[in-house]
Every structure is written in structure tokens, then in C-alpha cells.
Structure 1
Amino acid sequence: MPSEFDLIRQYFTRPTPSAILGVGDDAALLRVSPGMELAVSVDMLVAGRHFGEADGPGTVGHKSLAVNLSDMAAMGAVPRWATLAVALPAADEKWLRGFAGGFFGLAGKFGVELIGGDTTRGPLNICVQIMGEVPAGQALRRDGAKPGDEIWVSGTLGNAALALAHYQRRVELEHMEAAAMLPFLHLPQPRVAAGIALRGIATAAIDISDGLLADLGHILEQSGVGAEIHFENLPLHEVMRRYIGPLSPSSLPLAGAPARGVPAGIGGKAAQSGEKRDADSLREVQVVAQNCVLAGGDDYELCFAAPADRHETILDLARKLELPLTCIGRMTDTAGLRLLRAGEIMEVSAKGFDHFAA
């Protein structure tokens, strides 16, 4: 049976050329580059809450670092170093080998050095702390949005949540649809390059981990502004569009509203008398898909505000990054968030992921 220190040496010790002292002592020693500020974040992933028994160790390793890298992206920081604490029910070397492969595969892509950590016996959970550098005074924060700023998001929304809904049998995706959605859940791609490029452009930013409504709400609260966003402007994957269906007010129910009828165009069928059960089922699926987009969480895209006169600059940036950046609304001087669909105010029941919700 390998000891704790054997496991650390074998699976978690890598060269750390930018650290003064890395793995192997009581603490690491770092030197921040001149003119830089240190950005620090930490995230915990718990088995049964953030990943399941069916998730491979490589995907868990990837995701444990990716969610932290997403925080660096939201700050406009260059990720540099990480620490890792892992609790394991047993010293499973096969699992550790796979986990380390996923973790260090992503770490190498972004130049992150693992400089320390801890292991212990217990229910499986993983805690990663990440540190990055950002030029002094240039960090993207949540508290800088102004009325009139445009609201933007990267990528597409709700994909990971739709994949999870498929796992939970709340929707039934076709095989090819599930294959397209599952990587968004298991292998999120942090938008580090976008965050760095948005320095000096974005007035506020956040990564979408708990859902668009919840995370945009943090910007509104800390910036002291309101927002108006348009559902039809939200960037959606083609699979998501199939399940949400047409976006006119008469065709898509409010989240949490009773399901009545079926919209023409969903699956090529119009509502017929005697088909209420199928109609209600389709409406329920539409509501699930809508809530995945607005409040599903695990997107790890960026939501940011920027002055309207930087609109073309951001579109140019999207082309350079080869990453969709979509304007979905604007900041207002009226408190609260107004969500519009085809000019009409939407009411939604879902607000975002809450770790302590009943």
C-alpha cells in the first residue's frame, strides 16, 4: 500500500520553474512579477454534488481545475499556480492516475504549476486553489458596470445544464444530441484568453457558474445598476434551439407556468385535440430547456458589461479569438432585472444554482 507521500511524489509532483519553492516543503514560496497584483480563488468539488460515480477520473481532474481557471478568466488574470487538496475513500492508484492526467493536461495548456496541496482519507472531494497575475489596477471586477453599458456573454448558454437534465431524465436527448452536449458538462473550457483581452474594455465581468440570472444579478448588486436583457438575443446551441422551440410569447410558456397546448413547429407538429398529454410533455421540456439557459449553471462562460461605443471592438475581438461574443441587453439606472421576450416581460421561477437550497 503506497503511503501518502508516495502518492504525492508519483502523481502530483511536477517541475515548478516559476516558483521559488514548490511541492515538498511545508509551504510554497512565490514571487509575483513586478507591477502585478495576485488574484486568488478557490473551488471545491464534492462527489454526488458536482460529479457522479459514472464520471471518469480524467474528466473530474479536468473540471476541478477548469472551474478555477474560469474565475481567473473573469478577473482578466493570467493563471500561474495552483494547490490541490484531495480526500479519497481509499488509495486508488488507477483513479489517481486518471485524475492527474486530466488535471495536468489542462494545467499544461494554461501554464499552471501545482505548487502544493494535501491528501487525506474520507468521502471523495477535491479542493483547488488557484493564483494568477493581473496588471495593477486592471483586474475585471463585478462593481464597475454603468447605466447604458451593453451586456455581453461568451459562447452559448445552458448546454451543461441540458446534459445534466438528460442524465436526470428530465429531458430525453437523441444520441447525437447528448454527444454534443455532454462535453460542456464534463470538460468545460475556461475563457482565459477572452478575459485577458477584455482588460480595459469591460467595465464589469463574472463567470457564469450558477446560471445567467444569478450571476448577472451579482454584477447588478455590486455595481448598483439594473439590467434589461432579451431572451431572443441569448446565444443558443442548435440542440438547445430544438428543445426551446419558437421564441414568440405565444409559443413558449413562462418558466413555472402551467403547460397548455403545444406550439406549432415543435417537432413538426401542431396542437391537435386529444393530444393534450403530448402537448403538456412538450411544454414541460420547453420549460426545462428555458431554465437551463437562464439558471442552469455550469456554463463557465463570461458575462460582462462594456460601454456601447466599444461594440465593434468586441465584435473584432470575437473574430480574433474565434469565440462568439453576443450582446444580450443593456444596463439601466432602474434597479432589478427585466427579462424580455419579443418585447414582453417574462416571469421566471428559476433563479440559479444554490448549494444550500432545499
Structure 2
Amino acid sequence: MPSMELHSSSATFASFSRSLLSFQRDPDDLQQEPAGGIQEQGIDAFQLHVADLFAELSSAGGDNILSLLWIRKLLDAFLFCQEEFRFILLNNRHLLSRSPMDRLISDFYDRSVKALDLCNAIRDGIEQVRQWEKHMEIVLIALDPRQSFITQGQIRRAEKALIDLALFIHDEKESSSVLVQRNRSFCRQQRAAAHCRSFSWSVSRSWSATKQLQAIGNNIYVPRSHEVVATSGLANSVFTMNSLLHFVMWVLVAAIPCQDRGLQAHFSILKSFPWGSSVISLHERIMEESKKRERKKSVGLLKEIHQLEKCTRRLLQLTESVDQLPEGKEVEMIRQEVLGLGDVYNSMNEELILLERQVRDVFHEIVRSRIEGLDCLHKPE
């Protein structure tokens, strides 16, 4: 079953967590280690840990990619990687102030600051999706599938909520739904347009998620051989975290409604690393999904948004076709679609809160890592 494919990754995450805990030794103890001991072992093991985690993420079935559960797994993997990277830096603090490590780590922390803005924008996008639940609740109450009959008033009430949902789910500039266009009234169009222009309440109206992603991805390059040697391999760890930071932020922007979102990004330089093929495969699969005709106008590629879009469209078609009281087959068709909408509602209601907490955790972990890293950079042992 598809769901089992995604849940199977929990064993890998648990195993990685145990290895991370065993790696987190007191920095004072490390002074007793011989040169080339645990520090180099940790640096080498880090690449393999990242490869294992992203191989699991890449092995998820097509129906699971970009689901709320899968994105939460992605953030789990990123947090694990960020945590191990933080300890690698602490355990090799004597290298941080040396060239070229000082420049590499400073560039990484500059990218991290830009990622914090994206975390804020994504959290606002998650909150915006949660606001859609109010309209979903109206539909679910008005067209309660337990009812034996549906009145015209219930249909009209549900239809208004469905129209608002349709406007929110689609990019206002490109939306061409006949049903939605025909039923726009009471300034809904103006409200939806304002909604789509600025999903993020924490940033200015001129802020762009696309430009922020481009800024994070600019000048990420595979370390040169002399840089790897001069940093005892630490340059490869920095490159890995630069790439993961860029990729994870890109996935969040692709999936979640966000101000001026765009998917232009390149990850081809990752092929020489053990985790590179998995990241490239995920990037290609997500891009293929974004090019599907039914996904091009959506404000986010999140699986649950797509499910909501389909339920909304079908329910609008059914309610539009009802001129009088629905009976028999019409009631059953509406009932089935409402049940599907209820499934999407339950999934969002349970998972969005957890996802929001994880994005907050990512934000705080980036801040903590940056503070500790800069402290080591400016106050080397």
C-alpha cells in the first residue's frame, strides 16, 4: 500500500537519530581524541546519513510526494542533518577561522538568514490554508452526508463557500473557471485578488519568494580539491548543508501558498555526492507534477490542496446543475463528494498544525546553529 512506503522511512529516521545521539559527545572530551579521529569519521558519516535519509524520501510512491506527511518527513530529515552539521562544526571549531573555511561558513550563514524569511512566509501560507478550513466546514455542515435530503438553501450556502474556496486555490491572475467566473459577486473577486497578492503577512508586499530562493541558491558550488584538503573535508559538509537548505526551502515554496512563488532552481551539480541522485530525482518529480495541466493554476503543489481543488470543482458542478431539490442519484453523488471533502478536511486539520510547528522548529534550529557557529568563528579555540 502507498501509505506503508512512506511510513517505512520512520525506521531510518529512528536509526539516524540514534547514531546522532551517539555522535553528540561533549566537546571537551574531543580534546582527548587523536588527530584524524572522531572529527573526520563524523564528517565522512554525515554524507552517508544524508544519502540514507533522502533515499528514503525519494522512494516514496508518487501519491505521497508533496503530501503533508511527506513534507513533514522532509523537515524531519533536514532537522536531523542540521543538528549533526551543528555538532560537526562544534567538534571542528579550530578549523572555522582558517581560510577558506571562514569564507565558506560565512556564506552559509548568510544563506541561512535568507531562509528565515522563507520560513516566516511559509508559516503565513500554512495559516492561510488553515483559514480555508472555515469554508470547508460550511460546506460539510450544509451538505452533511448523514442527511436524507438537501434543501435549496443548503445548496446555495454550500455553493457560496465553494466559490470562495475555488478562488483561493487558484492563482487569481490565471483563473479561468467558468463556474467561478459566473458566480463571482459581492466583491469576492477583489477580496481573492488581494489574498493572492500577499500570502505572507510577515514580509512587505514587494517581497518575492522566488528572488529569495535565487539568493540562497546563488554561487553554491562543489568545493575544489584544495578547499577539501585545507578544511579536512569540512568544505563538503558545508556544501551539503547549503544544498539541502536550498532544496528544502524550494520544496516548501513549491508546495505551500507563498508570495510571488516560483520553481526556477537547478540542482544538477549534486551528482558527485552520494545523496545527490535522490535530491535530483525528487526535484525532477516535483517539476513534472508542476507541469501538469491541472496543477499550473494552483497556489501550491501540496497534495491536499490538489485534492481540495478536485472536490471543490466537482461539488460546484453538482450544485450548479441542481435547479430544484436534489433527489436519488443527485443526492448520492453530492454525498460521495462531501465525504471526499471531509477526508481532505480531516487530513489538513490534523497535519497543518504539526507542519507549522516543524517550520517553527526549522527556524529556531537555523538561528541556534548560526549563533553557535558565528561564536566559534570569531572565538576559535
TM-score normalised over the length of structure 2: 0.24
TM-score normalised over the length of structure 1: 0.25
Report which of the two structures shows the higher radius of gyration computed on alpha carbons: 2
- Higher fraction of helix: 2
Higher relative contact order (CA 8 A, sep 6+): 2
